[in-house]
Amino acid sequence: MNSIDSSLDELAGIEEVPAPWTLSGKGLIVVMRSKADKLLADPRIPAHIHNTLKTPLSVLMFVDYTHSHAGPYKELLYIPGTVQFSEKLGGKRLPTISNIVVSSASSVKNGRINWGIPKNLCSFDVAQGPDGLQEINLHHEGMPQFELAYRGKGFSFPIHTGLVPGFLKTLGQHWQGKEFMYSPSAKGKARFASVHVLQNLGDAFPDLDINDVITALEITRFQMTFPTAHIV
């Protein structure tokens, strides 16, 4: 158990909020070409996905939800690649979230229950630096966990999940002996971004290399639906 892991005691008494959820906000999507051997050697990638993990591309996302069924909260998540799921889910290979922290205990509890997403609780400090630089610092019980800084650039353009390749539209999670499959939908506005700082400092994420960044999009606003998951 990592020091970042949220305990059941932290979540006791928090109301369950069933899916589906509608959410809105803004954020950042960073597409990376992470190295499989490095990820598989990192103890912060859960052991249960090691055997079938493939990493053609990985994704780091920062999201600032201004509205959700769990209230406003911030989130940082990492998708290292795809993993294999059982015949109960059609033997599919699906992208999976391996590491994720949020600023809301309600999001932790309900993300686990509704979608099997392995959320943990963390504190977020978000500030604007010079020339539009967005600075995000994460910490847990006073210990630094992650630093991220980026700057949006250029004109904005519409985006929606209809533009996403089919094999990336549906995600899967293994959680407490169950398998979850879900297909979020979203639309909004985006523009390209440059990433200036990307550094893991703690237990929450694997060590990521800013030199592995392929491209980044600043999502200036979006509306999203998280549907009820198929659970087996």
For the record, the structure tokens of 81 come out as 């690649």
pLDDT tens column, 32-88: 998 888 898 999 999 889 889 999 899 999 999 999 999 999 999 999 999 999 999
What pLDDT score was predicted for residue 169? 84
Measured CA to CA, the distance from residue 49 to residue 79 in angstroms comes to 12
Domains of the chain and any CATH numbers: 8-231 (2.40.400.10)
Handedness of CA 224, 62, 214, 39 (dihedral sign): negative
Question: Which helix (DSSP H) or strand (DSSP E) does residue 141 occupy?
Answer: none
Handedness of CA 206, 139, 180, 72 (dihedral sign): negative
Measured CA to CA, the distance from residue 136 to residue 145 in angstroms comes to 11
What pLDDT score was predicted for residue 143? 94
Region 187-213 average pLDDT: 96
Q: pTM of this prediction?
A: 0.95
Region 123-151 average pLDDT: 95
